[in-house]
Amino acid sequence: KYKIGLTRLYKIWTDASSDKKFPEGFAGTVAGQHLTSQMESIQQEIDQQRAKHKKLQDELKKYAELNKKIAAAIEK
């Protein structure tokens, strides 16, 4: 979905922030604000994906425990 890596995006942002053309900092420009907004939305999406991943891991652990109980019951 995103063709530019977050590290590269951050480097572009910080390089532009130190540019003399933007004495107020790149974040103060319209492009900087847009880029900052994009970075924040990407970070939110990453956080949501991590939350989903954690939830799935927790579910897998529950199923693994259930499988162990079933296997133990079958062996008896």
Complete DSSP assignment for 3-64: -S-HHHHHHHHHHHHT-TT-TT-GGGSHHHHHHHHHHHHHHHHHHHHHHHHHHHHHHHHHHH
The residue with greater pLDDT, 18 or 36, is 36
> d(Cα 40, Cα 34) in Å, to the nearest integer?
10
The residue with greater pLDDT, 33 or 40, is 40
The radius of gyration of the chain from alpha carbons, rounded to an integer in Å, stands at 23
Give the up-direction half-sphere exposure of residue 9: CA atoms within 13 A in the CB hemisphere: 16
The residue with greater pLDDT, 70 or 12, is 70
